[in-house]
Amino acid sequence: MSKVEKTEEQWREQLSDEEYRITRQHGTEPAFSGNYYNNKDEGSYQCICCQQPLFSSHEKYDSGSGWPSYWMPVNEQAITENRDSSHGMTRVEVLCSQCDAHLGHVFEDGPEPTGLRYCINSACLEFKKS
């Protein structure tokens, strides 16, 4: 699929203020406030901006962080990663590979088999129950 490109005005029309702030301006929702951090239903999580599948409930786990956490994306092509040096720390930012929406960050303190924790904002996701 080709990259989704829209103007800032088009994104603002499509997204709520909170979705826009997080996905397009690299924001973060408060811990334990999002719709999906405690979701236990089976299904898939896709990008709120472009509907690309990103994560599955089969790889979701309770990290205790207050954000939806996954030990891997649906596939390596679903996301891109960038070095993030904001807020006085170095982290790895996770973006949707299709539309460059900011999703969250990935940390190396997750469970096996990957040892990774993809810590993702609920506002970036749309859940499709299976």
Neighbours of 2 (CB within 10 A): 5
> What does pLDDT average to over the chain?
95
> Tens digits of per-residue pLDDT, 36-82?
999 999 999 999 999 999 999 999 999 999 999 999 999 999 999 99
Catalytic residue positions, numbered: 119
- From the number of C-beta atoms within 10 Å of its C-beta (0-12, 13-18, 19+), residue 114 rates as middle
Mean pLDDT of 93-119: 97
* Domain-wise residue ranges, the chain: 8-129
Which is the CATH superfamily of the domain at 8-129? Answer: Peptide methionine sulfoxide reductase. (2.170.150.20)
Neighbours of 99 (CB within 10 A): 19
Instruction: Provide the greatest CA pair distance for the chain.
Output: 42
Q: How wide is the angle at C-alpha 81 spanned by C-alphas 75 and 82, nearest 5°? A: 175
* Residue count of the chain: 130
Q: What is the pLDDT of residue 90?
A: 80
Model confidence, pTM: 0.94
